[in-house]
Structure 1
Amino acid sequence: MVEGMLALVATLAALVGAGLLVQSTLKERRAHLAVWSGALVLTALGLAGMALGSFGGFSAGAFRLMAVTGGLLAPLATAVGLIELTAKPVQVRFAARLVGISYGLVALVVLVLDPLSTSSTPESGLPNPGDVYGVLPGSLLTGATVLTVLALIAGVATTVVRTQNRDKSAYPLMLPAALATVAGMINVIAVGWLPGLLKIVGLAAAAGLIFFAASKTTAESAEDDAEDAEAEQEAEDEMAFDPPHRPHQQPPRNTQGMRRPEPPQPPMPPQQGGRHTGQRPMPPQPPAGPPTQAMPPMQSTGPVAPDDWYATPPPQPAQPPMGPYGQIVVYTLLDGREQAFDRQVNQLIGEAVRAEDGILIFTCHEVEGAPTQRISYQLFRDRASYNEHQGRPYVHRFHGESRTHVLATNVIDLKLTGGSLPVLR
């Protein structure tokens, strides 16, 4: 009775956890969450078979339910989910799916249709599948155990190698990978070899570890979403407060210069009636006395020395025309962010080519054999066109939004030194 109640509670808990993971899967669309949701459902079915056998005796149906779901399919699903989480090459993930599905289907058919050993079929208690099945089903269960253990070890080893290579995207996967590995090992050992109550406890513990591992990956995804939202907000703030960029213009040259002050003029001779007809005030009159001759006007003794500060600036030599200016940017992307980055860079290229006449070439390439590498090549008519391009709002927006997808960048500036360019635009 105690075993049955414990198995029933564990079944309900596993089903609740599976429902939560299904919700996360529908929201995030990540393959490992879908596979681990299936693993929790299979574990719950295995626990349900244990509960039915504990309450009413192990019939053939209850035993097959426990052995097929809890002992065969659930460990395989746990291992395939771990490969989906840790392996970067698509070929490896596809191979894991192919092997897991094909082997699981073949073993499922054999374990369901193969007759049980009637002499070893228990009436009560929790049996080990190896004691009840024949040679062929037992061999298939052993093969599933070997495949599960090898896949779990490969998943953990892949994560360790990626972290040693300083792959930043692998650091958050260390704990989920370790938890999933422990869960798969416990599942295999519990169903295959542990007796009685420990079999239920082990299978329930495996379900809890799977749920916790999946929850850690969803938490990391939520943090990434928060960082993306923060980066977008920063980009919008920069666009809101960034003044419109204007191409650099030299101030108009003053070809007329500043007005040169006139040299000092001698005082004008007095006119009739003692009145002065010039612009300057009349100098003081001498006291009355014998008549005197009028002072002759002052003569210039030579040219006036020029004043350099007031002089017209000399003409500037004409600047030689600047040649085409180019730039190559090598992007190293985070795993799983390739499609999002490609969408953003394609949008940037489309807007830039439509709006700017100074762009000669603007392309982005994917490197063969390196799916996380992107190489952007830009060629402008001159440096001024490049500076104008960098001040565009959509360029600021791209820099703000793409930083969450990029692990590292390498910028190479180019200057045309020879050859000729065709008319591209």
Structure 2
Amino acid sequence: MVALLALLATLGALAATGLLVQRAYKERLLYLIAWSFTQVGLTLALLCMGLGLMMGFNGPLFRVMELGAALIGPVWLALGMIELIARYVQVRFAAWLFAISYTVVAIVILILDPLKGSLSKSLPKPSATYDALPLLLIDGAHVVAVIALAGCTGVTAWLASKRDQEAAELLIPVALVALAGVLVVSGTRGFLPAPLAAIALGAAAGLVWYGSMRTIPVYEEGEGYDEYGDEPATGYEEQGYPSAAKAEPVPAPTPPPDSRRGELRFPEPVAEELRYPVNTSIPEQPQQPAQPAQPAYPDNPAGPTAIDGIGNVLEQAALGRARPGAPGGELANACGQITVYTLLDGREDAFDRLATDLVKAALAAEPDTLVFASHDVVGAPTQRIFYQLFRDEAAFAAHRRQPHLQRFLAESRTHVLATNVIELKLGPAKMPLPAPEFPGR
């Protein structure tokens, strides 16, 4: 019965491993890859446990069981947790370096070190089978795993208490994975009887799979986000977190969505009269004889476009730098930023979806962000360039505090290999060509 229980747990762990490996291959996220190694180790350990309880343990079955559950399982579970939680690349790099080097050294020693005692159909205890050095390596793996999992859980809970939205989303998955780590360590220390050890390892495999499935919210296309908002329609409010303040709804753009890429965020031309009051110090000019009506925009007799409006804003700003009394001189302190993102291969679509949501949120909530454009780079499919123009330094600082920007920075981290930032001051400028509105993804 105990062997049958272990084999049933093996089938469950095998199914969970297949689902997690499939998602890791599709998403190409490093923490999913690390947890896939954990799942493979737990599955092999359960298989060897079931075969050993059924036919009797031998050296290879015992060694594979210990390598999978006592070494690879906890170490790579902790590595995946650090990769998911840590916001500094130096921490993640150090974790990968330690995990790989420790695993390689420990595998060599656990395979080559001679066993002591005799093996039977009963579940062997590591302390009665291994010498001091392998036991020291296993104990070290467990200590590191417990400290890392407990630390990551504590940090996530603390950030969630400070209303960090990313931490609030990850709190439950992190707790589930931490519980899986406790079960792995408990099931491999030799303290539990064989039935409970098999149940603990099988439950750990299930918790790792379920926790990984909840690390990234899945939204159907067109659902989960309102048209111009930066937060999901439901979710944070249910957890007691107020949603970010939003401006009044902005009318949808008249032109249909263009399939080409190139999101732009421009001020509406009709609002210029409200945004820039007329300079009443200019004396009223005598009326001139009526002249034939001329189009205000010779290249576009039908009327002004968004690009005409921003072109005039930029020209006025440039004139204002030279002539402080000229209209538009209040934009003389306009500043900008160019951000160059180098993406991981295969992560372009996921990053582009986040960029689209960010631009829509800027349109709705940032009236002093004059231009927000996302560009592809011809010949470099893994590069994206953001161009942003702000009215002044205060507008730039307000943009950096926006919750939708913080959300973008947190969620895009797993898609970005490198980032370069260039700060700008506005000079003479002209934008003669119109750009597409929000294209369909």
Q: 2:334 aligns with which of 327, 334, 350?
A: 327
* SS of equivalent to 1:35: helix
Name the structure 2 match of 1:379.
426
Partners in 1 of 2:251 and 2:201 — Cα distance?
50
Partners in 2 of 1:328 and 1:230 — Cα distance?
28
1:58-97 to 2 correspondences below 5 Å? 58-97=57-96
Letter paired with 1:169 = E
Question: Deviations along 1:277-313, whole A, 9 cap, x unmatched?
Answer: xxxxxxxxxxxxxxxxxxxxxxxxxxxxxxxxxxxxx
- Native 8 Å contact 2:6 2:195 kept in 1: no
* SS of equivalent to 1:238: coil
Matched, 1:143 2:147: no
- Native 8 Å contact 1:236 1:397 kept in 2: no
**Cα offset, 1:4, TM superposition:** 1.4
Question: Deviations along 1:236-256, whole A, 9 cap, x unmatched?
Answer: 9525279x9668799x98534
**Cα offset, 1:122, TM superposition:** 2.5
Structure 1 residues 83, 116: CA separation in 2 closer, same or farther (over 3 Å shift)? same
Partners in 2 of 1:236 and 1:50 — Cα distance?
63
1:302-317 to 2 correspondences below 5 Å? none
Structure 1 residues 349, 116: CA separation in 2 closer, same or farther (over 3 Å shift)? closer
Q: 2:196 aligns with which of 174, 195, 198?
A: 198
Matched, 1:159 2:142: no
Letter paired with 1:321 = A
- Native 8 Å contact 1:239 1:397 kept in 2: no
Number of residue pairs aligned between Structure 1 and Structure 2: 311
**Cα offset, 1:127, TM superposition:** 1.5
- Native 8 Å contact 1:245 1:392 kept in 2: no
Partners in 2 of 1:176 and 1:342 — Cα distance?
25
- Normalising to structure 2: TM-score of the pair? 0.59
**Cα offset, 1:187, TM superposition:** 0.4
Partners in 2 of 1:115 and 1:204 — Cα distance?
29
**Which is higher, the Rg of structure 1 or of structure 2?**
1
**Cα offset, 1:40, TM superposition:** 0.9
Structure 1 residues 83, 349: CA separation in 2 closer, same or farther (over 3 Å shift)? closer
Q: 2:184 aligns with which of 187, 193, 196?
A: 187
Letter paired with 1:217 = T
Name the structure 2 match of 1:178.
175
Matched, 1:255 2:288: yes
* SS of equivalent to 2:47: helix
Matched, 1:108 2:107: yes
- Gapped regions of structure 2 (runs ≥ 5): 230-248, 258-266, 279-284, 291-323, 339-343, 360-371, 378-388, 401-405, 411-418
- Normalising to structure 1: TM-score of the pair? 0.61
* SS of equivalent to 1:321: coil
Question: Deviations along 1:197-244, whole A, 9 cap, x unmatched?
Answer: 1110111111111111011114x1547995579669x999525279x9
**Cα offset, 1:14, TM superposition:** 1.2
Name the structure 2 match of 1:289.
none
Q: 1:212 aligns with which of 206, 210, 213?
A: 210
Structure 1 residues 198, 103: CA separation in 2 closer, same or farther (over 3 Å shift)? same
- Native 8 Å contact 1:328 1:375 kept in 2: no
- Native 8 Å contact 1:46 1:69 kept in 2: yes
Structure 1 residues 229, 13: CA separation in 2 closer, same or farther (over 3 Å shift)? farther
Letter paired with 1:26 = Y
Structure 1 residues 346, 323: CA separation in 2 closer, same or farther (over 3 Å shift)? closer
Name the structure 1 match of 2:255.
240
User: Share of identical aligned residues, percent?
Assistant: 32
Question: Deviations along 1:358-383, whole A, 9 cap, x unmatched?
Answer: 99x9xx99x9xx9879786563669x
**Cα offset, 1:111, TM superposition:** 0.6
- Native 8 Å contact 1:235 1:397 kept in 2: no
Partners in 1 of 2:221 and 2:145 — Cα distance?
31
Partners in 2 of 1:223 and 1:174 — Cα distance?
23
Name the structure 2 match of 1:124.
121
Partners in 2 of 1:222 and 1:18 — Cα distance?
24
**Cα offset, 1:135, TM superposition:** 0.8
